[in-house]
Amino acid sequence: MKILGRRKSGEGSEPQPTTEKKTAAVAEQLRQKGWYEFQLERSGQQCFIDPNQQPIGAGGAAEIIMGYIPTQQRWVAIKVPKSLIYPELYAEEIRLHLKALEATPDLVVEIVDFIINETTSKIAADHEKMVVMELLDPAWAPTLKQRITETHPAYSWSEPRPEPEPLTPIEVSQITGDLARFVITQYRQKNLIHRDLKPTNIYIIRDTNAQRTLTKVGDFGSASDAEVDDSDPLVGTINYLSPRQVLAAQAGYDTTQEPAPDAGLYDESWRVGVIAYEMLSGRVMFARANPQQEARAIHDFAYEDGLQIKDYPTLVKNLMKMNVKPEPVFEAFNRFMFLKHPEYHGDVTRFAKELELALTGQLEPEAADQSSVTSGD
């Protein structure tokens, strides 16, 4: 895969081995510099880590650091859990990540290898192993969040990045379609739900060969493949909870009740709608001052209000700027997410198709002239 903006080997101050001898020389160089050395579980090769680096990313549960594998001439990303009080949770995350890769390898962050036990104690307390992933450099593979907000943190190890460009209607259609395929395939083939789908856990890759945007899902730290998903409905981030989860939370998670069939799939599908809204408007759909108000907003949207053109002037304005007619887009969201207008409520595949139609149908010329809408949603 040829990728825009990716460094060519030999550029900058990077190691540039081409032969076995050179590989050994690079390894020796890194050793001299005081980089930590680990043996990889699968390949048996060495992976080097600069102990003085700043993490390249962090979430609630882990920090992501960089490593270099001289034999493969490859930079990688290593997920180091912040707390190892529950090493079995990290092992579970790895198991589910591997499982997800089986069902949709093109839509999941690649696992390159693992760093094994004895050696990991240098950078993390004792536990089984740590996952070594493909490095998704924000220059060519930002998270969807970075892509939406167009803010790219500057890392010293990367060449000047290409100018970020706003998502196009075609890209939003493709990403929504990819997420729909991820959700449905994982659920049908692996009984797997990710449970924390949101823009910071999704990567958007510019691939010059494919002439399109590629989507990859990462962070399986909240995922589940339990036969019945009877887990705490508040796993995940509140803005991306489904109205069903909000109601379950309000009802105090009545454990005597049978969970609704396909409840996990419904929740997961809903999140694709929330993410699609964020891609189009640049705003988190249910962001409010506090979690209570966020839960209320989700509930009211689903059961009372839906998406009304008059209430979402920023979204309307963005759509007009993209030369997209707003009404069909609003209808696509409402048919999917608004319970009073539930033509295909929860059917994420259908939603992705309807949204694509709405986004790629051209705006009629006279409507384009009337784009004087004020912002404020």
Nearer to ligand ADP, 106 or 304 (CB): 106
Nearer to ligand ADP, 134 or 377 (CB): 134
Q: 3-class DSSP state for residue 107?
A: helix
| Distance of alpha carbon 76 from alpha carbon 374, whole angstroms | 45
Residue 60 as a binder of ligand ADP (CB under 6 A): the answer is yes
Structure tokens at 125: 């307390």
Q: How many residues in the shown chain lie near Mg ion by CB under 5 A?
A: 3
Measure the CA angle with vertex 331, ends 330 and 335; round to 5°. Answer: 125
Residue 218 as a binder of ligand ADP (CB under 6 A): the answer is yes
| Distance of alpha carbon 330 from alpha carbon 56, whole angstroms | 37
| Distance of alpha carbon 245 from alpha carbon 223, whole angstroms | 16
| Distance of alpha carbon 338 from alpha carbon 349, whole angstroms | 16
Alpha-helical runs (H) found in the chain: 20-32, 87-103, 117-120, 144-149, 169-190, 243-250, 263-281, 291-300, 313-321, 326-337, 348-360, 365-369
Residue 201 as a binder of Mg ion (CB under 5 A): the answer is yes
Among 43, 45, 53, 200, binds ligand ADP (CB under 6 A): 200
Q: Are the CB atoms for 175 and 215 separated by under 8 Å?
A: yes
Residue 219 as a binder of Mg ion (CB under 5 A): the answer is yes
Residue 285 as a binder of ligand ADP (CB under 6 A): the answer is no
Stretch of residues binding ligand ADP (CB under 6 A), selected from 38-46, 61-69, 249-257, 281-289: 61-69
In sequence order, the 6+-apart residues with CB closer than 8 A to the CB of 119 are: 38, 39
Stretch of residues binding ligand ADP (CB under 6 A), selected from 52-60, 118-126, 237-245, 320-328: 52-60
Report the residue number whose CB is nearest to ligand ADP. 59
List binders of ligand ADP among 75-114 (CB under 6 A). 77, 79, 109
Residue 64 as a binder of ligand ADP (CB under 6 A): the answer is yes
Nearer to ligand ADP, 138 or 346 (CB): 138
Q: From the CB of 97, what's the least distance to ligand ADP, in Å?
A: 9
Contacting positions for ligand ADP (CB under 6 A):
56-62, 64, 77, 79, 109, 133-136, 143, 200-201, 218-219, 221
Contacting positions for Mg ion (CB under 5 A):
59, 201, 219
